[in-house]
Amino acid sequence: MKINNYGTSGINPYKRQMNKLENTNKVSKQTDKVEISATAKGMQSVNSIAVERQEKVDAIKIQVENGNYKVNTKEVAKSLFSFYKN
């Protein structure tokens, strides 16, 4: 009596392994892709803000060096209170 192999058990195990490797190579060829929206690109260009901030810092430095800079104690107190209140 002869018994025939049915299903995948009749395939050579080496051939099965090669098939698996070929399938994984097809999947691994995919690459990641990142797209940045126009809004995000706009947020990256903070050069105008940096320039304005640097101008303000320079002006305060000059006032401190000349002895003309005065601290607004009421504004400092309000800011500290609101910071610790929240």
Average model confidence (pLDDT) across the chain: 81
Tokens of 38: 């126009």
Tens of pLDDT along 41-82?
Answer: 877 776 777 888 899 999 999 999 999 999 999 999 999 999
Using a cut of 0.85, tell me whether the model's pTM lies above it.
no
Q: pLDDT at position 50, please?
A: 81
Greater model confidence, 69 or 17: 69
Q: pLDDT at position 1, please?
A: 62
Q: How far apart are CA 40 and CA 34, in angstroms?
A: 12
Cβ contacts of 63 within 8 Å, gap of 6 or more: 69
